[in-house]
Structure 1
Amino acid sequence: MSGLQRTALIFAIIGAINWGMIGFFNFDVVAAIFGGQTVAFSRVIYAIIGLSGLYCISLLFTADEEPQ
Structure 2
Amino acid sequence: MKAINLITLLLVIVGGVNWGLVGLAQFDLVATLFGGQSATLSRIVYALVGLSALWQLVPFSKAMSTDEPYAERGYPTTTR
1:37-56 to structure 2, matched below 5 A, reads: 37-56=37-56
Answer yes or no: is 1:27 the counterpart of 2:27: yes
TM-score scaled by structure 2? 0.75
Distance 2:50 2:60 in 1: 16
Q: Aligned with 1:62: secondary structure?
A: helix
Q: Which amino acid aligns with 2:32?
A: A
Deviation at 1:59, TM superposition (A): 1.4
Q: Which amino acid aligns with 2:10?
A: I
Partner of 2:6: 6
Higher relative contact order, chain-length normalized (CA < 8 Å, sep 6+)? 1
Q: Aligned with 2:62: secondary structure?
A: coil
Identity among equivalent positions (%) equals 39
> RMSD in angstroms over aligned alpha carbons?
1.7
Q: Aligned with 1:27: secondary structure?
A: coil
Distance 2:59 2:22 in 1: 26
Name structure 1 gaps, 5 residues minimum. none
Larger Rg: 2
